Structure formats: structure tokens, C-alpha cells
Structure 1
Amino acid sequence: MTWTGSSDARPSARIATLGPGLQKTERKVVEAIAADRERVVEFTAQDLATWAGVGRTTVIRAAQSLGYEGYPQLRVALVQELALESATTSSADTVVNEIDVEATALSALRSRIHQVAARLDDTLAALTPQAVDGFLAALEHSQRLLVVANGLSGPLGLALVMRLNAAGRSVEHFADPFAQQIAARQLGPGSTCIVFSGSGASRPTLDAMAAAQEGGAQVIAITSFARSAIVARADVALVVPPINDSFHDELIHTSRAALMLLTEELVDLYVSRSGAQGRAARDAALTVLAKAMTDEV
């Protein structure tokens, strides 16, 4: 698999998305780049090969897997990325220093949120028009729709279910893995199973996918890593680069912010495409919410 997302996507976004699934030698190259981008931009292809402990042709293949014509084009992209980050970081540091000179918890929090916000620009970098259209078509035309999500991806699944319900789209959801598999197996042709997995390697989610496909249903995956078991087995995959820089960081410092943002916007797009029916469903949901609110103190 090579990069199929936006041509404007940053090298770091491409590495985070594709890196864990690259061949071992190519993975050494991209990990070396991620470890010290400032140093790598000064390297020739041979310099990088020597530093990573691989052959020069492996460096070229790694660059091509990331979607570049060759290593020189990757170097240029790295320079551009570092220049942009430098300008952004300088601006952020100025704001933090003006707000809080001392290293308080609040200033640390501001810094971390800023880092997350800076990476949100990569949210759509790996998406393809076919994947987005396939997702929306499933919402519009599937006879039955089942959402599966486990572990730290669980809240994403529940949020999608609630939003779709408010948009008038009937959807099924089960927290228990065995209930997920049973429901998935009974979907049948003309139905869709949407699965969430940030890592792309959740065993209960993979089992539900297999059950859905055994019954003849379509499977749509939403994940952070292009080279993952879930993407390999899905009929349609929406890949959102992780907020963190590596698969390891994604597991230890898990963030689902980008995935949540994507699904929120997709549901809004679905409502817009549904026309009067979508607006009527949303109005009905707002009516229920209005009745549940009170101005009493």
C-alpha cells in the first residue's frame, strides 16, 4: 500500500498513517525520519540509509510508499513542514508566555491542546472521495445499519449512533462483543456494519467485521492507520491520521479527537443531503430536547 490521500498531506501525517504497516526495512527509514526530522533534511539518501541501517534503494522505496516521487521530494516536503511548524510554535510560545510566565498545569495544558489543534489539519489528509461517498451512500441506502466500536473507541460509536438517531437514521448498537457478532452475522446483503478502531487491530471489532461479511453485509471501517488489519478487511475504509506521531504513542496517549470530528461532520453532511427529511428529523430531536430543559433554578 502506498499513500492515496491528499498530495498536500505533511510527511509526518503520512508516516503516522502508513508507518506501522510498512515492510520492516522501510519502517526503519520512516522511524528514523520521525525521530529527527531536522537532522534528516541534511541527509542524502545514502546518509539516511547508513543511519537507518538499510540499503539506499530502501530509502527510495520508503519515500515512494509515502507518496513521493523519490527521496529528494520527501526532503523538500520535510523542510516545508519544519518551516511551518517553526512559525506556528513561535506564535504559540508568545501566547503562552503572555498568559502565564510560570510552568503551571494550565500552561502545560494549553501547550498540549495547541499540539492537538495543530495536527487536526491532517484530519482529511488520507481520505479519498470514494471512501466518503461510500460512507454517505451507506447511511442513505442501507436496509440495516450496525455500529461496532470497542475499548477506547467505544464512545465514538455511541456518539455516532446518537447523532444518526437524531438525524432520523435508524441504527443498531451493542456494547457486548458477542451481541455485536450476533447482530453483525444477521445483517445480510443490503446492510452495512460501520466499525471504529483507532489502532485498527481490535480483536472483538475484527470478529464482528468477519461476522458481518459472512452474512453478506458491507463493512465500512473508520481508523487511524492505513496498513492495519481492519483496513485490509473492510470494503470501504476512512483513514484519519492519528493525533500522535506513532502507533506506540497512539496506544499510550490515545486521542480520538480527529475521528470524533470527522464523524460529526459526516453526519451533518448526511443531514444536508437528506433535504427536508433530514431537517424534519433534526427539528423533531430539538423539540424533544427543548421539552427536557427548564429555566427553573
Structure 2
Amino acid sequence: MKETFSPAQPAASAPAPAPAALAAKVRTMAPSLTRSMQRVAEAVAGDPAGCAALTVTGLAERTGTSEATVVRTARLLGYPGYRDLRLALAGLAAQQQSGRAPALTTDIDVDDSLADVVAKLAHDEQQTLADTAAGLDTAQLEAAVGAAAGARRIDVYGIGASGLVAQDLTQKLLRIGLIAHAHSDPHLAVTNAVQLRGGDVAIAITHSGSTGDVIEPLRVAFEQGATTVAITGRPESAVTQYADHVLTTSTARESEWRPAAMSSRTGQLLVVDCLFVGVAQRTYATAGPALAASYEALAHRHR
């Protein structure tokens, strides 16, 4: 039986996020920070150029916090200290000025034209994809791909909008000949998780990381010895206690017209697509013919 663990703080020796990844990490982590740390995160995300020019004392005064809070926020964002965060902010500001890094998204207004709605949503979708790609830990992804490629069986758990993403992943895996099941019914998910063992894989998809109906089957699968994967927008959340591998998604800022269920879906779909393609590559000897057979079967229906 595996031992549970608490989500770890970023290691001081871990590589600091690149400037492009900084904006993504701020957006991902801000909701889980304390209010004082949120003020610091919001300030650096909203005005990277201005904050890059400030000393640690200056940023503390601007945000109404303390120097210690600024330093703690910098470390939680993945930087050894405030100096490293300032360098990243300067880099991000330079990218924004050159047009290579987009500014913060603009909320949709009730009076916006449909053309404006299309433009704003397209911008937010692109930003979510870029942020998720920048923040995705490829070592964790590689480990999850390896486990899924050799799995006897793969169970995927998700509720609501995340349940639709779970179904999308399982349909793809089935088309390359793998045994995969999507479970949106919490009772069915748990009763199936009990049947898992070493060599099986369980994947939980939950943006908040706190959905009990998704955490419980993952916990059971974890304790049964299956390899467990969490796809979540909150890398420090409860679901990661039972995850061998954590794949983090990013979302556009939530608004009245773009709630969490809508904004989280884009990043989740990118992650499951990356997972699927990696598995298909690893199993190409069998996945290739299986895909060809499914294409032929579908084409035959439309002749």
C-alpha cells in the first residue's frame, strides 16, 4: 500500500520559470494564495514592467504587504529570491512590448458585439493553451505516458465538464486498442477502482483539485497499487495527495461569461491530447494499425 503525501513546495534548486511561463504560473496559482500574496501576484501579472523597476521594499509598499510576503510569493512562483523574479518580470515586459507575449485578457461585456465576443474568446483560448503548454511539466507527462502505454487497464474519473474531457480521452485510447473506461458516476468509479492493481493506471481530471467524487476513486486506485495521475489547475490541491504524477493546466481568468467549467476545459483538452499522442507514439506498432482500422470502419459506414 502506498503512503500518501502532502503537496510539496517548489524546490529551491528547481529551474526558475522562463518569462513566458511566469504569467501562466501567476494565473494558475493566484486563487490558492493568501490574500496578501494574491496582491503581489496580481501586481506582477498586471504590470511586469513597473514591478521589475521596484525593489522588494517598493513592491511591498505598492501592494500593501511586507517584504517577507513578497519574497515568499516569489519563491512560491518558483524563483529562489526576489532578484530572480525581477529579472523574469523584465523579460516578460520586453516580450509584451515586442508583441510576443499578450497582455491580460479583457472581460466580455454585455453590450459587446458578436465579433468582439469571438475575438475575446479566441484570445482567451489561445492564452490558455500557451499558458498550459508553458507550465506543463514534461518529465511528469513522460512518466504518465510511460505508465499508460504499458497499462493493463486505464480508468479516467471526471465530473461535469471534466467528465466530458475524461470521455474524450478514453475514446481516443480505445481507438488505439487500449482498454480504457471513463467514469462520471462516483459510485461506479469507486467500485471499479477497487478492481485496479499494479500495472493499471487511474487518471483524475478536476480543475479545482477538490472535487470529492473524483478524489475518492483516485484514492482507492492509489491504495490498490495502480499508477495514478491528476490533471488539475491547482497543483497544491487535495487530489495531488493520491497522485503519482501531476499534470497542471492553466485557465483564462474567470468571468461572468466564462466560468471555471468553461475556462478550464481548453487546458484540460490540450493535456489529454498530449497524453494520448505520447501513448500512441510509444505503442505505434499496435496503435497505427488500430487507428487505420477505425478510420476504415468509419469510412465504410459513409460509403
Q: TM-score range by the shorter chain?
A: 0.7 to 0.9
Alignment RMSD: 2.9
Of residues 248, 265, 273, the one that matches 1:264 is 273
Q: 2:54 is matched with which residue?
A: 43
Q: Relative to structure 1, is the Cα distance of residues 108 and 86 closer, same or farther in structure 2, using a 3 angstrom cutoff? A: farther
How far off is 1:12 after superposition? 1.8
Question: Which deviates more from structure 2 when the two are superposed, residues 250-259 or residues 212-221?
Answer: 250-259
SS in 2 for 1:291: helix
- Residues 185 and 211 in structure 1, CA contact (< 8 A), matched pair in contact too: yes
Question: Which deviates more from structure 2 when the two are superposed, residues 3-12 or residues 267-276?
Answer: 3-12
Q: 1:12 is matched with which residue?
A: 23
2:217 aligned with 1:220: no
Could you list the per-position Cα deviations for residues 125-158 of structure 1 after superposition, in whole angstroms to 9, with x for gaps in the alignment? 2333431122112212222211111122111100
Distance (whole Å) between structure 1 residues aligned to residue 269 and residue 45 of structure 2: 25
Q: Relative to structure 1, is the Cα distance of residues 153 and 252 closer, same or farther in structure 2, using a 3 angstrom cutoff? A: closer
Q: How many residues align?
A: 283
Q: 1:57 is matched with which residue?
A: 68
Distance (whole Å) between structure 1 residues aligned to residue 15 and residue 123 of structure 2: 24
Of residues 243, 253, 259, the one that matches 1:244 is 253
Of residues 120, 128, 131, the one that matches 2:129 is 120
User: What's the TM-score once normalised by structure 2's chain length?
Assistant: 0.82
How far off is 1:35 after superposition? 5.1
Q: Relative to structure 1, is the Cα distance of residues 91 and 164 closer, same or farther in structure 2, using a 3 angstrom cutoff? A: closer
Question: Which deviates more from structure 2 when the two are superposed, residues 66-75 or residues 162-171?
Answer: 66-75
How far off is 1:162 after superposition? 0.3
Q: Relative to structure 1, is the Cα distance of residues 108 and 33 closer, same or farther in structure 2, using a 3 angstrom cutoff? A: same
Name stretches of at least 5 consecutive residues in structure 1 with no aligned partner: 93-102
Q: Relative to structure 1, is the Cα distance of residues 79 and 253 closer, same or farther in structure 2, using a 3 angstrom cutoff? A: farther
Letter in 1 for 2:242: R
**1:1-297 correspondence runs (5 A):** 1-2=9-10, 7-8=17-18, 9-22=20-33, 25-34=36-45, 36-37=47-48, 39-88=50-99, 104-244=113-253, 251=260, 254-294=263-303
Distance (whole Å) between structure 1 residues aligned to residue 24 and residue 145 of structure 2: 25
How far off is 1:38 after superposition? 5.4
How far off is 1:60 after superposition? 1.4
Could you list the per-position Cα deviations for residues 12-68 of structure 1 after superposition, in whole angstroms to 9, with x for gaps in the alignment? 211123333445643442244345545434432112212333321221121122122
How far off is 1:258 after superposition? 2.0
Instruction: Give aligned-pair identity as a percent.
Output: 27
SS in 2 for 1:124: helix
SS in 2 for 1:188: coil
Could you list the per-position Cα deviations for residues 155-187 of structure 1 after superposition, in whole angstroms to 9, with x for gaps in the alignment? 110000000000111112222111011111221
SS in 2 for 1:255: helix
Distance (whole Å) between structure 1 residues aligned to residue 33 and residue 84 of structure 2: 19
SS in 2 for 1:80: helix
Letter in 2 for 1:78: L
Question: Which deviates more from structure 2 when the two are superposed, residues 6-15 or residues 264-273?
Answer: 6-15
- Residues 116 and 243 in structure 1, CA contact (< 8 A), matched pair in contact too: yes
Could you list the per-position Cα deviations for residues 102-123 of structure 1 after superposition, in whole angstroms to 9, with x for gaps in the alignment? x631233123202321342222
User: What's the TM-score once normalised by structure 1's chain length?
Assistant: 0.83
Question: Which deviates more from structure 2 when the two are superposed, residues 9-18 or residues 160-169?
Answer: 9-18
Q: Relative to structure 1, is the Cα distance of residues 270 and 189 closer, same or farther in structure 2, using a 3 angstrom cutoff? A: closer
Distance (whole Å) between structure 1 residues aligned to residue 163 and residue 261 of structure 2: 17
Distance (whole Å) between structure 2 residues aligned to residue 284 and residue 276 of structure 1: 13
Letter in 1 for 2:70: V
